[in-house]
Structure 1
Amino acid sequence: MLDIVIEARNAAISPAMQVKRILPFRLRRMVGPFIFMDHAGPVTQAPDQISSLDVLPHPHIGLSTVSYLFGGQVTHRDSLGVEQVIKPGEVNWMTAGRGIAHSERFEDPATLAGGQLEMIQTWVALPEKDEESAPAFDNYKPGALPVYTDKGVWMRLIAGNAYGLRNDVKTHSPLFYLHAEIEANTKFALPEEHAERGIYIVHGSIEINGQTYKAGQMLVFTKGSDPHLLAKEHSTLMLLGGEPLGERYIWWNFVSSRKERIEQAKEDWKQGRIILPPTDNHEFIPLPEDKSRPAGGPPKPEPLS
Structure 2
Amino acid sequence: MQRQLNNLPMLDLVIEARSAALSAAITVKRILPFRLRRMVGPFIFMDHAGPISDLPVTPSALDVLPHPHIGLSTVSYLFGGRVTHRDSLGVEQVIRPGEVNWMTAGRGIAHSERFEDPAALSGGLEMIQTWVALPEKDEEAAPSFNNYKPEQLPVFTDKGVWMRLIAGDAYGLKSSVQTNSPLFYLHVNLGAGAVFGLPKEHSERGLYIVKGSVEVAGITYEAGKMLVFTKGVDPLLIAKEPATLMMLGGEPLGERFIWWNFVSSRRERIEQAKEDWKQGRIILPPNDNHEFVPLPDDKSRPAGNPPKPEPLS
- Normalised-by-shorter TM-score class: over 0.9
| Contact in 2 for aligned 1:160/1:177 (Cα 8 Å) | yes
Matched with 1:31 is 40
Provide the secondary structure at the position in 1 that maps to 2:51. Answer: coil
**1:187 aligned to which of 192, 195, 207:** 195
User: What is the distance in 2 between the residues matched to 1:295 and 1:14?
Assistant: 26
Instruction: Give me the identity figure in percent.
Output: 80
Aligned to 2:101: 92
Residue 128 of structure 2 aligns to a residue whose secondary structure is strand
Cα drift, residue 35 of structure 1 = 0.2
1:144 pairs with 2:152: yes
Is 1:276 the counterpart of 2:294 in the alignment? no
Q: Is the 8 A contact 1:39 1:119 kept in 2?
A: yes
* Matching residue within 94, 107, 127 for 2:116: 107
Name 2:312's counterpart in structure 1.
304
Partner of 2:92: 83
Query: What's the CA shift for 1:300?
Result: 1.2
Q: Which residue of the other structure, out of 234, 250, 254, is the alignment partner of 2:262?
A: 254
Q: Deviations over 1:175-207 (max 9, x none)?
A: 000000001001110001101000100000000
Alpha-carbon distance, 1:298 to partner: 4.4
Matched, 1:41 2:50: yes
The yes-or-no answer on 1:60 pairing with 2:60 is no
Write the letter of the residue equivalent to 1:144. Q
Give the alignment's TM-score, normalised by structure 2: 0.95
1:170 to 157, 162, 178: 178
TM-superposed CA distance for 1:294, in Å, is 4.5
Q: Distance in 2 between matches of 1:21 and 1:250?
A: 15
Per-residue CA shift, 1:192-237, capped at 9, x if unaligned?
1101000100000000111100000000001111112100011000
Mapped partners of 1:148, 1:11: distance in 2: 34
Indicate the residue corresponding to 1:128 in structure 2.
136
Q: Does 1:159 align with 2:167?
A: yes
Count of residue correspondences: 304
Verify the 8 A CA contact 1:57 1:285 in the aligned structure 2: yes
Q: Aligned pair 1:264/2:260, yes or no?
A: no
1:297 Cα deviation after fit: 3.9
Q: Which amino acid aligns with 2:119?
A: A
- Report if aligned partners of 1:202, 1:237 keep a CA contact under 8 Å in 2: yes
Q: Which runs of 5+ in 1 are unaligned?
A: none
TM-score (norm 1): 0.98
Mapped pair 1:6 → 2:43? no
1:112, distance to aligned residue in structure 2 (A): 2.3
Of the structure 1 ranges 261-270 and 142-151, higher mean CA displacement relative to structure 2 is found in: 142-151
Amino acid at match of 1:164: G
Q: In structure 2, what is the Cα distance between the partners aligned to 1:44 and 1:167? A: 32
Alignment-mate amino acid for residue 158 of structure 1: I
**CA distance in 1 between partners of 2:261 and 2:147 (Å):** 21
Q: 2:59 aligned with 1:50, yes or no? A: yes
What are structure 2's unaligned runs of at least 5 residues?
Answer: 1-9
CA-CA distance at 1:60 after TM superposition:
0.1
Runs of 4+ in 1 over 3 A off after TM superposition: 291-298
Who is 2:3 aligned against? none
Q: Distance in 2 between matches of 1:185 and 1:205?
A: 11
Closer/same/farther in 2, CA of residues 232 and 56 from structure 1, 3 Å limit: same
Give the counterpart of 2:125 among 117, 125, 128: 117
Whether the aligned pair in 2 keeps the contact of 1:154 and 1:181 (CA below 8 Å) is yes
